[in-house]
């Protein structure tokens, strides 16, 4: 049994992995960046790409070597060397991958904590998702609202409170790297600190029906002054047809009470446009 040229194989793996890494790192995989989360997430992706390149190179080099070296000659009816295994080697190729994935998981956890840290000066924006439109409420600016257009100031953390009105939708601005489902019945949070001014697109990424493809909204990130000007220019309060889950439940309960002929609590009807019946 010939000895394996282990050193050469390892060097070939390292070389191929390095080449792959260098080539793959040339690309800007996740596209434009416009929030503070993009730095840590994109770096995590780059690290993962490098690790993956070496693993893929390892498989390719060893597979290629085996195919070249031990390809049977035509007419060779013989058998290979009856090796059943190698316990030491098997322990190594179990333990090293464990270490790699645990390290990557730890790193991911740190990044996750980093991008979800809440800041004290964060502002809150309500996001109402319904088939097939986005509406935004600004509770800190007198509950003003705007449909189909989101404005936020640059360099300030925003906590988006997501309210699903009918089915599940998902809030995603690719340049922010942040995504969260808007689930009917509960309120979910998406935390973003936009750090670049510009106009972006909000995309619904959870299949929500026939109009899912077109469920987009314009996102404008602008300076604090411009933002204040814009939000102050809004006039109406959040309309009654948009409600949080608690409100929706309350409306539903009252509607049922009316149907049964039971006298309600005397509160005025808050709207008939309940989209979820």
Partner 1 sequence: MLLGAAFGFGLVVALRALSGLEIFQTEQTGYPHVVVPLITAPFGFLFGFGAFDYWFRWAAGKPTIPDDHADHGATRWQDYFKFNTDHKVIGIQYIVTTLFFFLIGGLLALLSRAELAQPGAQVVAASTFNGLFSTHATVMIFLFIIPIFAGLANYVVPLMLGAPDMAFPRLNALSFWLLPIAGIIFLASFLAPGGAFDAGWTGYAPLAGGAPLGQTFFNIGVQFAGASSIAAALNFLVTIITMRAPGMNLWRMPLMVWAQLATSLLVVGATPFVAGAQFMTLFDRVLGMNFFNFLEGGDVISYQHIFWFYSHPAVYIMMLPGFGIISEIISTHSRKPVFGYRLMALALIGIVVLSYSVWAHHMFVSGMFSWLRVPIMISTMLIAVPTGIKVFSWLGTLFYGKIHTYSTSMLFALAFIVTFTIGGISGVMLGMIPIDIHVSDTYFIVAHIHFVLFGGSVFTIFAGLYHWFPKMTGRMYDEKLGRIHLWLTVVGTWMTFVPMHWVGMDGMPRRVADYAAQYGDWNLVVSVSAFLLGAAQLVFLYNMIVSWRFGPKAGPNPWRANSIEWQVSSPPPMYNFDEIPRVVGGPYEYGTPGARHAIMGDDEGAAVPEPKPTTVAAS
Number of residues that bind partner 1 (CB under 8 A): 85
Tokens 């840590």, residue located:
40
Taking CB under 8 A as the rule, which mask of x and - marks residues 204-223 in contact with partner 1? xxxxxxxxxxx---------
Out of 34, 111, 219, 231, which residue is the one contacting partner 1 (CB under 8 A)?
111
- Which positions from 162 through 191 interact with partner 1, judged by CB under 8 A? 162, 164, 166-168, 170, 172, 174, 177-181, 183-186, 188
Residue 169 CB partners (closer than 8 Å, separation 6+):
129, 130, 181, 182, 204, 206, 208, 215
- Which positions from 2 through 41 interact with partner 1, judged by CB under 8 A? 4, 29-31, 37, 40-41
Nearer to partner 1, 167 or 217 (CB): 167
Residue 87 CB partners (closer than 8 Å, separation 6+):
none
Taking CB under 8 A as the rule, which mask of x and - marks residues 86-105 in contact with partner 1? x--xx--xx--xx--xx-xx
State whether residue 192 is helix, strand or coil.
strand
- Is residue 56 a contact partner of residue 12, using CB atoms and an 8 Å limit? no
- In the complex, the smallest distance separating the C-beta of residue 213 from partner 1, rounded to whole angstroms, is 4
Out of 60, 123, 159, 240, which residue is the one contacting partner 1 (CB under 8 A)?
60
> How many whole angstroms separate alpha carbon 211 and alpha carbon 203?
12
- In the complex, the smallest distance separating the C-beta of residue 13 from partner 1, rounded to whole angstroms, is 12
What order of strands is seen across the sheet that includes strand 187-192?
Answer: 144-147, 133-138, 123-130, 158-164, 187-192
- Is residue 220 a contact partner of residue 150, using CB atoms and an 8 Å limit? yes
Kindly state whether residue 272 participates in binding partner 1, applying the rule CB under 8 A: no
Q: How many CA within 13 A on the CB side of residue 96?
A: 8
Taking CB under 8 A as the rule, which mask of x and - marks residues 245-264 in contact with partner 1? x--xx--x------------
- In the complex, the smallest distance separating the C-beta of residue 49 from partner 1, rounded to whole angstroms, is 9
> How many whole angstroms separate alpha carbon 220 and alpha carbon 198?
6
Taking CB under 8 A as the binding criterion, the range among 64-72, 122-130, 143-151, 228-236 that sits at the site for partner 1 is 64-72
Kindly state whether residue 124 participates in binding partner 1, applying the rule CB under 8 A: no
């Amino acid at each position: 049994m010939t000895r394996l040229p282990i050193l050469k194989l390892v060097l070939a793996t390292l070389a191929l992995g390095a080449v792959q890494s260098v080539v793959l790192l040339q690309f800007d995989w996740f596209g434009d960046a416009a929030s503070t989360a993009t730095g840590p997430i994109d770096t995590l992706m780059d690290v993962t790409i490098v690790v993956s390149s070496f693993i893929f190179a390892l498989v390719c080099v060893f597979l290629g070597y085996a195919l070249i070296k031990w390809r049977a000659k035509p007419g060779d009816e013989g058998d290979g060397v009856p090796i059943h295994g190698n316990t030491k080697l098997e322990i190594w190729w179990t333990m090293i991958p464990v270490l790699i994935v645990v390290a990557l998981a730890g790193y991911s956890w740190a990044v996750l904590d980093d991008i979800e840290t809440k800041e004290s000066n964060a502002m809150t924006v309500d996001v109402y998702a319904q088939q097939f439109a986005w509406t935004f409420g600004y509770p800190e600016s007198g509950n003003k609202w705007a449909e189909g257009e989101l404005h936020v100031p640059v360099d300030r953390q925003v906590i988006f409170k997501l309210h699903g009105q009918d089915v599940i939708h998902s809030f995603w601005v690719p340049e922010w790297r942040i995504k969260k489902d808007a689930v009917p019945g509960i309120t979910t949070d998406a935390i973003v600190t936009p750090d670049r001014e510009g106009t972006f697109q909000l995309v619904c990424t959870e299949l929500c029906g026939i109009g899912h493809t077109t469920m987009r909204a314009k996102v404008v990130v602008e300076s604090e002054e411009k933002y204040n000007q814009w939000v102050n220019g809004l006039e109406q309060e959040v309309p009654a047809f948009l409600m949080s889950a608690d409100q929706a439940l309350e409306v539903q309960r009252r509607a049922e009470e009316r149907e049964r002929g039971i006298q309600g609590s005397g509160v005025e009807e808050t709207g008939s446009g309940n989209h979820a019946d």
